[in-house]
Structure 1
Amino acid sequence: MRSARLILASALFALMAGAALAQPAPRAVGPTIADVGSAYYRFEQVSVTSADGARVYRVQIGVPRKAPGSGGYPVAYLLDGDAAMARIDETLLGQLNAGDPPVIVAVGYQGDRQFDVLARAYDYTPPAQDGAYVVDAAGRPGGGADAFLTLLHDQIAPEVTARVYVDATRSLLWGHSYGGLCVLHAALTRPDAYGRFVSVSPSLWWNYGSVLAEVDPFLSRPHPAALSLTLLVGEEEVAGRGGRTRTNPMWSSVPSGATRDLAQRLHAAGVDVRFAEIPGQGHGGMLSASLIPTLLSFAGVAPAPGDVLS
């Protein structure tokens, strides 16, 4: 029976991959600040392969030219790293340099696109609690977040620390959309892995809101005193304006205000949570609208995004 399920899963994956490739191509990767150079940062690149050999990660490491403090640099891990790097420019790096600039670790995928839609759908989504094979509303296989987060912590982070003097106690994990779901899953299941978790427009609907089932087990255990979670969404996406027509029931499996409700529930339980609906922003625009203030705040040159709940 297990062999039959694996064969079926492989066949479905192949069919869905073909369908995904038939969709409009995501934005191409173009020259970024890592390619043209910066007066404030130098960039290195390494490749890391997933445990199953199916995905190769392009890891771009931005190292401040400014000397670190006595404890080392803070370090920011960015999911959808190719898309993130496309939104980082010399102006932003100069602003970071004015404070305590973090090492930037942008984790993307080998290839010529800012988003590898199949790879991220697998890597950024939690496994089903019953071990079932799960696909998203577009038919893309998921459930690989635990393996990805282990690779990030056990392989990519040591690669960074071997190259750069970082302060592991000042670490941040940022992600948007499926990346935001992955960050939230990480905060709920391995809250001691990073100091700050920034989950932007998390796809709570994935697998009919299964990530929300992780909240009770999280709250039943002591959480690190230094844990900080930021949840950000766009005002337009909450209102349902400007988005795609959503017909699959998975899309509507959680209410539009579910992220706010989650923030309030965690805050009531004593978790350090910040939350905001960013005016005028839809789902896609939240990538840039969150990334830049997150990095500026991490460097200590701007207020932290989101509001402290009361």
Structure 2
Amino acid sequence: MVIFFRKICLPIIFIITVSFEATAQKGLVPVINQQEQHLFHSTTNGKSYHLAVSLPPHYSPADSLKYPVLYLLDGSFSFPIAHATRTLLDMFGEIEEVIIVGIGDEWERSYEPWMTNRWADYTPSSDPKSDTNPAYLQYFDLPEGSLVSGGGSVFLDVIQNEIIPFIDSHYNTSADRGISGHSFGGLFAGYCLFTTSDLFSRFGILSPSFWWNSNEIFDLEKSFSTKNSTLDAQVFMTVGSLEGASMISKMTAFADALQNRNYKGLNLSSHIFENETHNSVVAASISRTLRVLYGKQP
């Protein structure tokens, strides 16, 4: 009888224990709309950033589960779109459970602080000709000298050595990180693709400003290819069909260049959204980026 009890009951106890532990690791009842805000001050460049964090529906700080993290540039406008979209996609489990972090600048009553900060942070090199272009200054009603480019490497240092450690210390994160940005943010994401070997593995390069500084991103890719045959990354690129021939041609040329290198480990896809402008395409691009980079396989 004792032997029978051991044979039958002990496996049952084991199953119950494992089930209880699994339940403790991941709550059965999802909690939607979990988001938190932080005002983060960088000691590297002296700037302050608004960090908005969107958490998965089963997230609990008491869990030992680790989640991938997607860092969104221009978080002041991209984060609300991404958070609402992920809430809908989570409803039927269409994407992985991922922590989304929006890195934003001041976005209250004026475009000025947003434009001047991103102009500096997202550009990999200094381009005085673009800095003094009257079109940008007049359109955003900016004073002369307010646009100063070339802070990309410093901003990357802020992300790598300050923002990521901050997020890792406050949330249950894994080393699986992605970065996504639109326009200048797309330029910066492309720059990260070749300058951060282990920092990011998923990239959303949306309507990228690859015209910057005489198309230097293409030279960066070419230089990278002479030393590397492997590029372990999942890359999704988009552009709107109404953005103009130059924007479309540069995105497609960049995608073709990556494809033609036959990099080992590269998973590349792209999409042109019909009848969308440079700004109207943002929402569609963010939604598709979540599904492509974090979509669950059927």
TM-score range, shorter chain: 0.7 to 0.9
CA contact (8 A) 2:237 2:251 kept: yes
Supply the distance in 2 between the matched residues of 1:233 and 1:90 (Cα, whole angstroms): 22
What are structure 2's unaligned runs of at least 5 residues?
Answer: 1-29, 138-146
Q: 1:277 aligns with which of 272, 284, 289?
A: 272
Structure number with larger C-alpha Rg: 2
Partners of 2:123 and 2:174 lie apart in 1 by 28
Sequence identity percentage: 25
Is the Cα–Cα contact under 8 Å of residues 42 and 65 in structure 1 kept in the other structure?
A: yes
Task: Report the secondary structure of 1:112's partner residue.
Answer: coil
The alpha carbon displacement at 1:132 in A equals 7.2
After TM superposition, list the pairs within 5 Å mapping 1:8-23 onto structure 2.
none
Match of 2:116 among 103, 115, 118: 118
1:1-310 superposed matches below 5 A: 39-50=31-42, 51-53=44-46, 55-67=47-59, 72-88=66-82, 90=84, 92-96=86-90, 98=93, 99-112=95-108, 116-128=114-126, 135=131, 137=133, 138=136, 140-168=147-175, 170-222=176-228, 224-239=230-245, 256-271=248-263, 272=266, 273-301=268-296
Which whole-Å deviations, capped at 9, do the CAs of 1:3-26 have from their partners, x for residues lacking one?
A: xxxxxxxxxxxxxxxxxxxxxxxx
Following superposition, the deviation at residue 133 of structure 1 comes to 8.7
Gaps of 5+ in 1: 1-37, 240-253, 304-310
CA contact (8 A) 1:125 1:142 kept: yes
Q: Secondary structure at the match of 2:238?
A: strand
TM-score, length-scaled by structure 1: 0.71
Distance 1:230 1:298, change over 3 A: closer
Kindly state the Cα deviation for residue 42 of structure 1 after the two structures are TM-superposed. 2.0
Whole-Å separation in 2 of the counterparts to 1:136 and 1:75 = 36
Q: 1:207 to 1:266 in 2, by over 3 A?
A: same
Q: How many angstroms apart in 1 are the aligned matches of 2:58 and 2:290? A: 16
* RMSD (CA atoms): 2.8
The ranges of structure 1 where at least 4 consecutive aligned residues each deviate by more than 6 angstroms after the TM superposition are 131-134
Does the Cα contact within 8 Å between 1:176 and 1:286 map onto a contact in 2? no
Q: Deviations over 1:68-89 (max 9, x none)?
A: 8976111110000010123245
Deviation digits for residues 247-273 of structure 1, max 9, x if unmatched? xxxxxxx67512211111111102322
Alpha-carbon distance in structure 2 between the residues aligned to 1:85 and 1:112: 15
Pick closer, same or farther for the CA change 1:133–1:127 going to 2, 3 Å: farther
User: Are the counterparts in 2 of residues 191 and 224 from structure 1 also a CA contact under 8 Å?
Assistant: no
- 2:279 counterpart letter in structure 1: G
Give the SS at the match of 2:104.
strand
Provide the rounded CA distance (Å) in 2 between the counterparts of 1:231 and 1:108: 21
Q: Which amino acid aligns with 2:125?
A: P
How many residues were matched structurally?
248
Contact persistence 2:48–2:105 (CA under 8 A) = yes
